[in-house]
Structure 1
Amino acid sequence: MGSQPDFTDEEKASESNRLLSAASIPPPKSLGESGPPVALEVAYESSDKLFVDDFDYDSETPPPFSWRKLWRFTGPGFLMSIAFLDPGNLEGDLQAGAIAGYSLLWLLLWATIMGLLIQLLSARVGVATGKHLAELCREEYPPWAGFLLWVMAELALIGADIQEVIGSAIAIQILSHGVLPLWAGVVITASDCFIFLFLENYGVRKLEAVFAVLIGTMALSFAWMFGDAKPSGRELIIGVLVPKLSSKTIRQAVGVVGCVIMPHNVFLHSALVQSRKVDQNKKGQVQEALNYYSIESALALLVSFVINLFLTTVFAKGFYGTEQASNIGLVNAGQYLEEKYGGGVLPILYIWGIGLLSAGQSSTITGTYAGQFIMGGFLDLRLKKWLRALITRSFAIVPTMIVALLFNTSEATLDVLNEWLNVLQSIQIPFALIPLLTLVSKEHLMGSFRVSPILEVCEIQ
């Protein structure tokens, strides 16, 4: 035993006072929070994550496939697939069909496949690291690069949100027989952030169930339209299998790619997969989660591809080669459909309106979700959920309201704006894709789940 140092009474009193003073300093509080501080911004608190049965094991080899486990992992991929079905996609689909006929269906297929590969990498980053892409960009890139990526992500999100909110507003205008103007529809749609917060309080599975209903509504609506239109099966198959592109359809082709591969969706999916409890220190658990998420994402995007295919072929059959083809957009598509295919038992105008409303509402809610992850991850904001949702919603609603007021009486201009917003998404893709490909190849982040160095040249030191 070593001898203890001797302290005088004054030294002991001084040391005691110092320790008491240090202990009395209150810990820093998070912005907007009144409770204890949160160390870091996270996608989901541990208490909010869904526990998957029979998932707590140490083996590096995943157990055999289980339908029950697949069901438990089903959800994030379908929320991610909403971005493949938003009003911007519907705009791209109907214009591609009306102007290019069946000739761009192959591009829709391959854009969806490419989108799936990107989303699988996004899920891989989220599951393997336990962090989403925005968080990793903040940690791995220098401040100036992180700020640039955040600005670009916000611009892409605002562009997508304008389309989504305007799409919902158009649907509300259709279903209200024109009683509600476009700006009123925007105000109604803006309340979706509070609907989102309400649903989120009931757990992630309830939120996912609501999205399943909305996707089902879209599928039913556009399948009904497909049945009414009766497109050519032969031309559909040729369009899917035979690549064809002309100089007259370049803008529509770029729009198809831009509206299918959404930059903000790359950030979103890496966060959504963290809604299930996975121990990143257990290789077998990570691998099994990736396996189930891959299956689920593929199924979700197969559904989205079929829905987009329905819509494109309906407009290809009805309007390709006609004088109206270049004038069709989200605003007047319902009227053109009714003139072409008639009313029927349930007028096709209202079927279109229901499908468009489902697309708009579901995508605006996921846009709110994505906005929270993007802003919170890049800026490390620790805010209350309602405050963070309100801030991220305002980023999109303010410019959307301006658009609604300016273009309320100009249908043609609004449709052109929507088309160019799809092109904007194409331009923004590299600002999400390059960080994703760079980070997924970093061994210190991904460990054994890294992919081969894809874009090391793009790493910013």
Structure 2
Amino acid sequence: MPSHTEENQRLLDSRHEDEEERAYDSTEKVQIIGVDEGADADEYSTKAPPFSWKKLWLFTGPGFLMSIAFLDPGNLEGDLQSGAIAGYSLLWLLLWATVMGLLVQLLSARLGVATGRHLAELCREEYPNWARLLLWVMAELALIGADIQEVIGSAIAIKILSHGVLPLWAGVIITALDCFIFLFLENYGVRKLEALFAVLIATMAISFAWMFGETKPNGGELLLGVLVPKLSSNTIQQAVGVVGCIIMPHNVFLHSALVQSREVDNRKIGRVKEALTYYSIESGIALAISFMINLFVTTVFAKAFYGTEQANSIGLVNAGQYLQEKFGGGFFPILYIWAIGLLAAGQSSTITGTYAGQFIMGGFLNLRLKKWLRALITRSFAIVPTLIVALVFDTTESSLDVLNEWLNVLQSIQIPFALIPLLCLVSKEEVMGFFKIGTFLQVISWFVAALVIMINGYLMVDFSLRRSGVLFTVLVSVFAAAYVCFVVYLVAREINFSSLRGKAKTTFGV
């Protein structure tokens, strides 16, 4: 029979394992409440404290990590193709797609702050086992698709910067090691990791702003492109790509977890209001910066290739070389400026992918794994297929373009399985309490979600119609039927529960 000492040690070990389930350990949370000097403990239980620049600084970080998903190599490829094929005409759509993305991310942050739990954890509690497991599989597939694009983009940059000495597969292996950097920095506190991302975002901003200055896009056409909506039949596919790249399924899960890196007493309405205010400001700033970076890339390629023969064949693999041939070397060759920005985008997005993977797996499955082991498993899901892709397609640009199309479709079909649970949960009083979103915001949010889902649906249909074969048609038809049934289930389940809640209030007055 174990002694009291042994039993106590076993309980302590078990508690330590439970604490390690979260990527953001409670001991690493940034302290916020202590900033209010001399404030009464209950003074801000229902109202938010006055605005403080110091507090804004303390809350700054999660929004910038979230914004990386708006700047990953998949987005950069969408930007350059939009600029090369549509010129400046889709800049307005880039702006409004970023605004829609901000709305979704603010709802995700609201869920995390108000409940103290992230989206994957709440989905585990909200849905029956079969639906929960299916949602987890969909989230993992979306993450794998995004990660393959991010790792490939980073590997392309490494190949350029090494003058071709390091092939694509070597770049994939190098990029795979970034999860160890992530684990190393995390051990020194979340602020160190956020500082790394600040450096990477600054690197992207400087690189693409430098390219903008070198190519000198037309300012008048740029302004018209941002302010005047314009869409033609020739640019519909690029328009779909612009919107489809902005809202990433794994990023919806990620932001609801990142906001919990700050110590917020969610039992006090005032404290939650305060946190949501600061998170809204910093997320808005972060996405404004991401919009400017995307705008730089789009306008550079609009100036360089719009109306040219290369416009329809440009992609991540050959974009740098095309720029070099167009604008030459200069003080610093534009090929390497492009590669540095692409490398920063790839490295930062793969690290956030590792974060998202940990939250998704831990939340849906409630796994008790050490952080390094969970990171290794998460990275393997993406690195193994990416390494195969790199070995097969290392020298074939057209094959990589086809692969990218498949990956875009893979991520597009996962959008409803992140947006619908999010909107359902933030609309529930029993989940959100005082912070349940109102009717007006519900209508706007569901409209945005429906618009994004329809746009991505168009991408899926267009992709399927461009493929032929009886077997492919049969498989797509079966999958589409099952897919629609699951989406309908998720929506109908919420409508049914809302109806039951309404009847309960009418009958019992609660």
Name the TM-score, length of structure 1 as normaliser. Answer: 0.91
1:439 is paired with a residue whose SS is helix
CA distance in 1, matches of 2:98, 2:355: 22
Matched, 1:402 2:414: no
Cα 1:190–1:321 shift into 2, 3 Å: same
Aligned to 1:75: 61
Q: How many residues align?
A: 440
Matched, 1:385 2:381: no
In the alignment, structure 1 segments of 5+ residues that lack a partner are 1-19
1:359 corresponds to which letter in structure 2? A
Compare relative contact order (CA 8 Å, sep 6+) and give the higher one, 1 or 2: 1
CA contact (8 A) 2:17 2:370 kept: no
1:123 is paired with a residue whose SS is helix
Matched, 1:123 2:109: yes
Shift of 1:458: 5.0
CA contact (8 A) 1:106 1:239 kept: yes
2:24 corresponds to which letter in structure 1? Y
**Aligned mate of 1:354, from 340, 346, 350:** 340
Identity within the alignment, %: 77
Aligned to 2:76: 90
Cα 1:28–1:412 shift into 2, 3 Å: farther
CA distance in 2, matches of 1:233, 1:62: 42
CA contact (8 A) 1:43 1:131 kept: no
Matched, 1:430 2:416: yes
Matched, 1:219 2:217: no
Shift of 1:109: 0.6
Shift of 1:243: 1.6
CA distance in 2, matches of 1:163, 1:46: 32
**Aligned mate of 2:52, from 62, 66, 88:** 66
CA contact (8 A) 1:129 1:280 kept: yes
Shift of 1:246: 2.2
Shift of 1:43: 4.8
Q: CA deviation digits over 1:209-255, x for unaligned, max 9?
A: 01000000000000000011111111111111122222222222222
Aligned to 1:10: none
Shift of 1:324: 0.4
Cα 1:424–1:46 shift into 2, 3 Å: same
Aligned to 2:35: 54
Cα 1:197–1:182 shift into 2, 3 Å: same
2:254 corresponds to which letter in structure 1? L
Matched, 1:332 2:325: no
Cα 1:126–1:34 shift into 2, 3 Å: closer
Q: CA deviation digits over 1:382-426, x for unaligned, max 9?
A: 111110000000010111111111111101221232244234333
RMSD: 2.2
1:372 corresponds to which letter in structure 2? Q
**Aligned mate of 1:313, from 284, 299, 303:** 299
Aligned to 1:102: 88
CA distance in 1, matches of 2:111, 2:60: 18
Name the TM-score, length of structure 2 as normaliser. Answer: 0.83
Aligned to 1:242: 228
In the alignment, structure 2 segments of 5+ residues that lack a partner are 447-490, 498-510
CA contact (8 A) 2:81 2:315 kept: yes
Aligned to 1:17: none
2:35 is paired with a residue whose SS is coil
1:179 is paired with a residue whose SS is coil
Q: CA deviation digits over 1:150-189, x for unaligned, max 9?
A: 1111111011100100000000000000000000000110
2:154 corresponds to which letter in structure 1? S
Cα 1:420–1:236 shift into 2, 3 Å: farther
CA contact (8 A) 1:161 1:364 kept: yes
1:95 corresponds to which letter in structure 2? Q
CA distance in 1, matches of 2:116, 2:271: 12
CA contact (8 A) 1:258 1:423 kept: no
2:309 is paired with a residue whose SS is coil
Greater percentage in helix: 2
1:340 is paired with a residue whose SS is helix
Which has the larger Rg? Answer: 1
Aligned to 2:249: 263
Q: CA deviation digits over 1:300-353, x for unaligned, max 9?
A: 000000000000000011101110001110000010000111100100000000
Q: Which moved more, 1:145-154 or 1:386-395?
A: 145-154
Shift of 1:114: 0.2
Aligned to 1:364: 350
2:230 is paired with a residue whose SS is coil
1:47 corresponds to which letter in structure 2? T
1:441 corresponds to which letter in structure 2? S
Q: Which moved more, 1:205-214 or 1:412-421?
A: 412-421
